[in-house]
Structure 1
Amino acid sequence: MDFNVALFELLLLVSALVAMLVRRLHMPYSVGLVIAGISLSYMASSRFPVIPLNQDFIYNVLLPPLIFEAAFHMRWTEVRKDFVVVQTLAIVGVLLSTGITAAGMHFLLHWEWISGLLFGTLIAATDPVSILATFREAGVVGRFRHLVEAESLFNDGTAAAGFRIVLAFVVGTHVGLIDVLRISGTVLLGSVFCGWLIGNVVLSLLHRTDDHLVEIAFAMIAAYGSFLLADNLQLSGVLATLVAGLVMGRLNAINPMTKRGREAVEAVLEYTVFAANSFIFLFIGIQQARREYDTVWASIGIAVVVVMLARAVAVYPCCMLFSRSSLRIDVRHQHVLFWGGLRGALALALAMGLPPGVPRREEIVTVCFAVVAFSIFIQGTTMTALLRRLRIVQRNGGGSQ
């Protein structure tokens, strides 16, 4: 990837201007950026024919801080109360979603099973950015907000690990049940261990410094180090970074990070996430304008319906398991969990990283972009209205727990 400083500055300028504009228009930031990306593509295609945001850049550079920041800020004392619910949604829900999506694409569009499974796992990954931004603006607080945040984060970890497992069968010769269990166990346990190891090594180093600049450096090392270690071992970098973020953040009861250091790390992570999300959503807009959809409209329409159905099956039956317990989830909140399952950066990064030999690779990537666009433009823009319709928030912006 050729690094173009002028283009980098342009994208950063556009991101800042869009952030200012959408606040005035009360529009989701992600929607504004995608529209800006589409506009950029049409206005500047001859000047900037190649946008330097490929799969490697998104997956290895932009994605780790997004995952790490979300895990680092997770309020573990709140989340652990609903840990069983979160893990049920993130594990059982993702498995159900993957299976239904794969079956739908196989029987309705005659995709190969392996193509359907790859698409099912990558599209099961949800993006909390837009929904949590809407929650902040609407004033949604309390248990439900923590539940949505945790479900989306652990969902990403499960989906990414599942994708790595399915991909192992594409490039290898593993076909038996024993092989499935062995690879699954290796990927899951190995990824968790990588994140735990890097997180604890960095924590031990933090005991030896009170310099906030060094603490920032160590935090970034934990984010990228855990990701790269797991990825190079053919494990899940996303799951490893998630664990490292939890270890570095609020999960550790005796965190050696100084108050000034934590504030500095949080500020740097906040800006890094802003920049990463900005580039990703601009990239989505630019790619939407340049992709050819003429031959896959039927596939896109069916995929959107199948993905939404799969999300419904992943949410409602799992929540029903807790309907008679103290962990019961309000039906209104279940509706928001279903409609708030937006797709974004991780799904795109996984799709673009498919090996060339995967059956229907280009169709999978194109359909993935279309499903992401649907979730951003349709689900993202109607979330506030849904929150008001369900009376989770009031029209004046007052929040609810």
Structure 2
Amino acid sequence: MFSSSDHTSVIVSLNLFVALLCTCIVVGHYLEENRWMNESITALAIGLCTGIIILLTTKGKSSHLMVFSEDLFFIYLLPPIIFNAGFQVKKKQFFRNFMTIMLFGAVGTLISFAIISFGAIHIFKKMRIGSLEIGDYLAIGAIFSATDSVCTLQVLNQDETPLLYSLVFGEGVVNDATSVVLFNAIQSFDLSHINSSIALQFIGNFLNLFISSTMLGILAGLLSAYIIKKLYFGRHSTDREVALMILMAYLSYMLAELFYLSAILTVFFCGIVMSHYTWHNVTESSRVTTKHAFATLSFVAEIFIFLYVGMDALDIEKWGVVSNSLVDPTRNCAGMLS
């Protein structure tokens, strides 16, 4: 239970953070036509300024208003962003270039994974950093092979360069999903003694995770379309249709997490299927509502993340961890991997 002072502190922090979100949206609106500034950069800048103010007022004790947990990001913020990406994607461009996207996103990630893993083995051994096993090096390769295309997509325009935007966007999503699947596959095997049998099992597990995650998203999207089309018997309700689409999308994400699949890949393909089948089975008012509702949830989640990243960049405690890792890299590297 929270004490009275803790409850007041949480309420004040939430109010300030919501006010900062509103500020980011208003300022980003006025800078919308500026090619050098957008909502993401605006949120980062406001977060940095806010972090500096908090550092000065707390005399260097803290730079953020609230604690950012892993569950907050993966359970509440990431799903609407990835789902909306699949829901709003231009499907003709995406599937027309699907093989190219898979070549860059999946095969390219595997090549990057191999190069980084072998490079980490060579560099760490030269630095004489011990207590790391082969699974740790592969985990490093999986983590660093994940690239983020957010900044690139902010520069590109989907209407002016549809092909380039589709390739970069598709590669970014498939790359993230491939890296997550790789990391999960690495964690599920004892790679201290690699042989041909373990290598084949690893490849099979990777393919199984990738295909299962995709199929789960497709099935969730098709099930939502079937329920709305067949079980309503002509009696449509905008509230129920919108609620069902949101809940089915979120259910697909949480089921993927429950079965240790790639939730990113699942909810992305669920969004694609829903936009192609479910969206056309609902009323016109539901189409307008879902389109704007999903875009709004994704927009707020993105602004939230960039705002917090700007504030978190000045976190004294994290900089202390970095300085300690420079003093004792073996202990902290092993700790980060665990």
TM interval, shorter chain, is: 0.7 to 0.9
In 2: Cα distance, 1:173 partner to 1:51 partner: 43
Give the number of the structure whose alpha-carbon radius of gyration is greater.
2
Alignment of 1:98-117 (within 5 A): 98-110=113-125, 112=132, 113-117=134-138
Residue 75 in 1 paired to residue 81 in 2?
A: no
The Cα shift of 1:298 comes to: 11
The answer as to whether partners of 1:33 and 1:278 remain within 8 angstroms in 2 is: yes
Whether 2:216 is the aligned partner of 1:242: answer: no
Say which of 233, 253, 277 aligns to 2:302: 277
**Aligned residue number for residue 334 of structure 2:** 360
Q: Choose the corresponding residue for 1:188, options 187, 206, 210.
A: 210
Alpha carbons of 1:297 and 1:71: their partners in 2 closer, same or farther (altered >3 Å)? Answer: farther
Distance 1:64 1:106 in 2: 34
2:315 pairs with 1:294: no
1:100 offset after TM fit, Å?
Answer: 1.9
Whole-Å separation in 1 of the counterparts to 2:311 and 2:326: 19
The 2-side partners of 1:17 and 1:105 are apart by: 43
Return the offset for 1:280: 1.2
Give CA deviations for 1:50-104 in whole Å, capped at 9, x if unaligned.
6232111101111111111001111111222211101101111111122222223
Q: What letter is aligned with 1:256? A: N
Matching of residue 226 in structure 1 with residue 252 in structure 2: yes
Provide TM-score, normalisation by structure 2: 0.78
Distance in 2 of aligned mates of 1:283 and 1:170: 36
Deviation at 1:107, TM superposition (A): 2.0
Q: Aligned equivalents of 1:299 and 1:260: distance in 2?
A: 59
Matched-pair identity in %: 20
- 1:37 equivalenced with 2:47 (yes/no): yes
1:268 alignment partner, one of 275, 278, 293: 293
Report the 3-state secondary structure (helix = DSSP H, G, I; strand = E; otherwise coil) of the residue aligned with 2:313: helix
153, 156, 159: which one pairs with 2:179? 159
CA separation in 1, counterparts of 2:289 and 2:200? 47
- Match of 1:80, as an amino acid? F
Considering only aligned residues, what root-mean-square deviation do their CA atoms show, in Å?
3.4
| SS of residue paired to 2:323 | coil
Distance 1:220 1:174 in 2: 43
SS at match of 1:13: helix
Unaligned runs of 5+ in 1: 301-356, 366-401
Code of the aligned partner of 1:121: A
Partner residue, 1:178: 200
Q: CA offset at residue 153 of structure 1?
A: 1.9
Q: Which residue of 2 aligns with 1:313?
A: none
Give the Å deviation of 1:267.
0.7
1:97-120 Cα offsets, whole Å, 9 max, x none, are 222222233322446343332233
Equivalent residue, structure 2, for 1:373: none
Contact 1:28 1:130 (8 Å CA) reproduced: no
TM-score by length of 1: 0.67
